[in-house]
Structure 1
Amino acid sequence: MNLQESVLDNIKYNQQGLIPAIVQESDTGEVLMLAYMNRESLERSLATGETWFYSRSRQELWHKGATSGHIQKIDGIYYDCDADTLLVKVKQTGEACHEGYHSCFHYELQKDGTGKILQEKAIAGGMKLGKILEEVYRVILDRQKNRPEKSYTTYLFEKGVDKILKKVGEETAEVIIAAKNNNPAEVVYEVSDLLYHLLVLLVEQGVNLEKIAGELQGRR
């Protein structure tokens, strides 16, 4: 295959004009779903940066998340050596599975032939919080690298770990005071401040969110 030519002309679709597309989360490597694309949905995916598929049951194109809001932002589309399967790496908003799970592959086949659910359904807002924390973490990483002027995050990195730790301590105390005052609105505000400063500390220490998630998963 000449890579300088249009690869779309060399993709091998099946007799129905479809090609399987494995969708994988970029950050975690988790396989989210398997769907099918035809040439038009593949072209739309490339043009829009969001996943489009072809529904075999409805016989029509569908834009993932158009109704639910659980869109998939494409980081890259890859094809295998036979050019008959696609791998689509995405940033998933919300859940990929229509049953309310993050991944469609949440059932495990047991040796006795029975099934086991591996995931719990996402708690409303829970996955959203996780995505926001990831976004803030990436912004903080950028601040650490580029050090834009007049940025509070830049100021923290330039002052060093002692300043960051002092702020973590101060914000922890603020959370305690807000909780002792039985003020939920203030708790939300102060916890948000604390989480931000903890993320700055993680970046300063070179600890990514996957390591924290792994530790919590092990404890769970």
Structure 2
Amino acid sequence: MGINLDELKFDENGLIPAVIQDVYTKEVLMLAYMNKESIELTIKTGKVNFYSRSRKTLWLKGETSGNYLNLKRLEYDCDADALLVEVIPEGPVCHTGNKSCFYRTMYKSEDAPEGVGIIKKLSERIADRKKHPVDGSYTNYLLDKGIDKILKKVGEECAETIIAAKNNSPEEITYEVSDLVYHLLVMLAERGVDVNRIYDELARRYKK
């Protein structure tokens, strides 16, 4: 589906704010500005382009660092004065080296939920443990033991999840499903399968 640029409300400088979001985790990665030309370039190339207010010129995100933003979805809000750009980032988005520009927390309640992004975060932590082992880490224990041990645990957690469902206990089901998901993520990491492949396959099935 195309986007009608005439529907957008640009400011007096011909700019519109664009919120950049990870298409998988929905994490907000950065805020920048776009003009008509940068939007057209973004759609045409599949790489996100912005307009630099300080340099007063177009700039391709990642042109210098190699950390491109691959466009997956472009939407605009009800007032047509802001864009939501969903992307797959290639590397850190922030110039500081952080994944997101929004890495400093002013306030967070103790019960603030992580949302669906926790699956991705957990997967990334497991992958990091694989590359950088930590003494005493249960994840590294499983990875060191190898695929047979990991699959044994997956089987055990499957059985315990079934029992929890039969017992009809929400608390027990929640605990056991969490155990199962974790061990499945360890299995994916051991086999070198990116969790994004699972997201993509589920999305494909949903669209059918």
TM-score normalised over the length of structure 2: 0.54
Partner of 1:106: helix, strand, or coil?
Answer: coil
Stretches of structure 2 that go unaligned for 5 or more consecutive residues are 109-120, 128-145, 152-186, 200-208
| Aligned residue type for 1:169 | D
Partner of 1:78: helix, strand, or coil?
Answer: strand
Corresponding residue number in structure 2 for 1:62: 59
2:148 to 163, 166, 169: 169
1:82 to 79, 84, 91: 79
| Aligned residue type for 2:71 | I
Offset, 1:170: 8.6
1:15 to 12, 16, 19: 12
Q: Distance in 2 between matches of 1:69 and 1:21?
A: 20
Offset, 1:171: 9.9
Q: Identity rate of aligned residues, in percent?
A: 43
1:104 to 98, 101, 105: 101
Q: Is the 8 A contact 1:23 1:88 kept in 2?
A: yes
Partner of 2:105: helix, strand, or coil?
Answer: strand
Q: Distance in 2 between matches of 1:11 and 1:60?
A: 20
Mark the CA change 1:71 to 1:194 in structure 2 (over 3 Å): closer, same or farther. Answer: closer
Mark the CA change 1:31 to 1:168 in structure 2 (over 3 Å): closer, same or farther. Answer: same
Mark the CA change 1:39 to 1:195 in structure 2 (over 3 Å): closer, same or farther. Answer: same
Partner of 2:102: helix, strand, or coil?
Answer: coil
TM-score normalised over the length of structure 1: 0.51
Root-mean-square deviation (CA, aligned residues, Å) is 3.5
Corresponding residue number in structure 2 for 1:197: 191
1:29 to 26, 29, 51: 26
Q: What is the number of residues matched between the two proteins?
A: 130
**Higher RCO by CA contacts (8 Å cutoff, separation 6 or greater):** 2
Stretches of structure 1 that go unaligned for 5 or more consecutive residues are 112-126, 134-166, 173-192, 209-220
Q: Which digits, 9 at most, give the CA deviation of each residue in 1:184-205, with x for residues without a partner?
A: xxxxxxxxx99453749x89xx
